[in-house]
Structure 1
Amino acid sequence: MLYRDWLNLNTHLLWCHDYAVDSEQTGKITRSTEYSNSAAWLVKSGWVKVEQENGEIFQASPGQWLIVKPGKRVQSFSPDTRMLSIAFLARWPDGNDLFDQGLSIVLDADKVPALERKAKPMLRIMKKINPETWDARESRAGLKEFFKLQSILSEWLMTLVDTLQNAGIEHRCNMDIDERVMQAVRLMQSHDIGEFLDLDALAQSVGTSQTHLRRLFQRDLQLTPREYFENIRIEFACTSLKQAKKRINGVANEMGFTYLSHFSKWFKKHKGVTPRAYRG
């Protein structure tokens, strides 16, 4: 791959916490939930267990990492669970994650000490900018903190790449995405989530027509521009609903819905459950 191809990879940290699992999260959870992010858990005490959509079950005990596959899963924790939890996105524009093939996997921490060692600087920065957040994107951070966090995340991801390759798991590559598609993707990612997206203006901004941009998107990402932006909105809604401090009607207003009922109908159309049921 060319260097410019790697520039299409979207990576950022969602959270990095060392914490005791809340009592409400312990025990057997029977409802399968969609988790769009990648995750790595280092168990300090107790145990964690994940059942994937295909029925495979993975359990980690103290001194073990559980690198979790993004997607639908049932996860459960013992009452005495304490763990280092890292959640991140490493995703290509077509929606495929850098790490998904061959996961989930359990690894002995003493065989990959660098994975924990290189996570500690991330932990320190997260404690500084917002110790309570479960989405670092909602935290206030200066330019230097941003660059430092991205640099540390990159170091940790390089260690994860080596760790997974040693376990026979390769990362996913993504090539040959038209530059006009990538420009449009970047514009959509920075677009106000609650504002209407003018596709004609978007196409003009990247130097093509709406019809041709649609063809390029369908060829490179297997989605139309409208569908791609809708996926961005869905992910925003899901992430926001998982934040206990955010009220459901507040999320609806932030996304441009005047009425909560309209937001609920839109969300259920895409996720199959109401916002309240999704929040759990």
Structure 2
Amino acid sequence: MTRLGAVARSLTSPYARALTEPVAAAVLFVWWLAGPARPIMQDLGMIPGRSDMSVTNVYAILVAAAFAASLALARLSPFLSVALAALAVLAQVAGWASRFSLTGWVAYGILLAVVAAVSVHAKGRMRVLAVCVGLVLIPMVAALLTLPPLSLSGQWGLINGKPWGSGEIVVGFAVWTGTQLVLTSAIWFLPAWLRSLRRAESQPADAAGTALSALSFREREVYLWVASGMTNSEIATAAHIEESTVKTHISKVLAKLELTSRVGIIAHAYRTGILLPEPA
């Protein structure tokens, strides 16, 4: 059990967590390159004709690599992550040679992993920016998948094989736009929902409801984080807000509970039974 515990602690250490996104990015890119991207053009100095949808060329490979790099950067810099993903999609809209082949389009799945990573690491205004960029990119990706002028062939939709003028083009575009909105929304809000469930399970609901009735939902969250010993920086990261906003919430908590310091919050939590002392 001791060895298992040591392994578990090593896997959850800050250094191991920092490698999560880069490792996931490498695995997804290699999987795409070895599977859906095939057959890959042998002569990288050539560009396939627009009617050849079975070839993944060097430009499409660079786009998929940019998606993977976007995922790898999500923890280090959510801004760079979002910007790189946006530039890669814009490059595909602007240049047909960078668009995916008939099977290579599944590289867009890497963007779903980017959404998950950015939703965890972005905070404050960066979260708003990420949502705005996502709302622009979603219809672009849907267009690249369904509209003939934006496919690699230039003659028919990438995944539906329909020429321009077919009634299924509009339906396909709408379906893929809606599907992406549902998936990205679910992925975006999932981490916060899971965190709220864990916090709810770890706290005595009755005691918290009575003692913290004067606080708003966000103020209760900040109260519990302060009581558990988290710093302002750690709270800002967990709540995806700025440290200045954390300080404002703490000031409101202190005023509403008539306390004077963070130590007072901790004492209040133990005194009201919200936090229980560890058994000796």
Short-chain TM bin: under 0.3
When normalised by structure 1's length, the TM-score is 0.26
* Larger CA Rg, structure 1 vs 2: 2
When normalised by structure 2's length, the TM-score is 0.26
More helix by share: 2
More strand by share: 1
